[in-house]
Amino acid sequence: MQLEEIKSKFERFLRQKGYKITRGRFEIIDKIADYGPHFEIEELVRWIANQNRSIASRSTIYRTVRLLQEFGAIREVIKLGNRTIYEFTAGKPHHEHLICVQCGKIIEFYKEEIEELQDKVCEEHQFTPLNHRLEIFGICSHCKAKSHED
């Protein structure tokens, strides 16, 4: 999905909720898209603050991230210790993550069968799933190779 498409869908979302279309909100989307697929809020706050023209305060960024989660463009994908890593899903299909605990590298994957098995488990428990998150923590191939050098 194109960025412009997301923004116009977000605009519709805001209208439908009775919220206002402000420049700040859309500039934050641009910045998040620029930043890359994964970010932590404080990281984003500092990054935005360090740019020549500041577009939004810390509170507005926090509030907008919450709004974008509600809208569905952003997801909390990794919870590691006290850190939360968000993903700008931007219409990307659903997927899970491998996280290298050594270098922080994030690898995305999708396994249809895992999804199906989850649905099965939910059925067995008469549980209606809304969303899920699978995080696999470990060591990536690069870090493993590096540790063998010693």
Partner DNA sequence: TTAATTGCAAAAACTTTGCAATCGG
Partner DNA sequence: CCGATTGCAAAGTTTTTGCAATTAA
Q: By CB under 8 A, tell whether 114 contacts a second copy.
A: yes
- Residue 52 touches which member of DNA, a second copy, none, C-beta under 5-8 Å by kind: none
Kind of pairing, strands 96-100 and 106-109?
A: antiparallel
What is the DSSP code string of 78-109? Answer: EEETTEEEEEE-TTPPP-EEEEETTT--EEEE
Q: By CB under 7 A, tell whether 31 contacts DNA.
A: no
Q: By CB under 8 A, tell whether 107 contacts a second copy.
A: yes
Which range, of 1-9, 30-38, 40-48, 124-132, touches DNA by CB under 7 A? 40-48
The span from the CA of 53 to the CA of 123, in Å, is 51
- Residue 57 touches which member of a second copy, DNA, none, C-beta under 5-8 Å by kind: DNA
The span from the CA of 126 to the CA of 121, in Å, is 9
Q: In the complex, which residues of this chain contact DNA (CB under 7 A)? A: 14, 18-25, 40-42, 55-60, 62-64, 66, 81-84
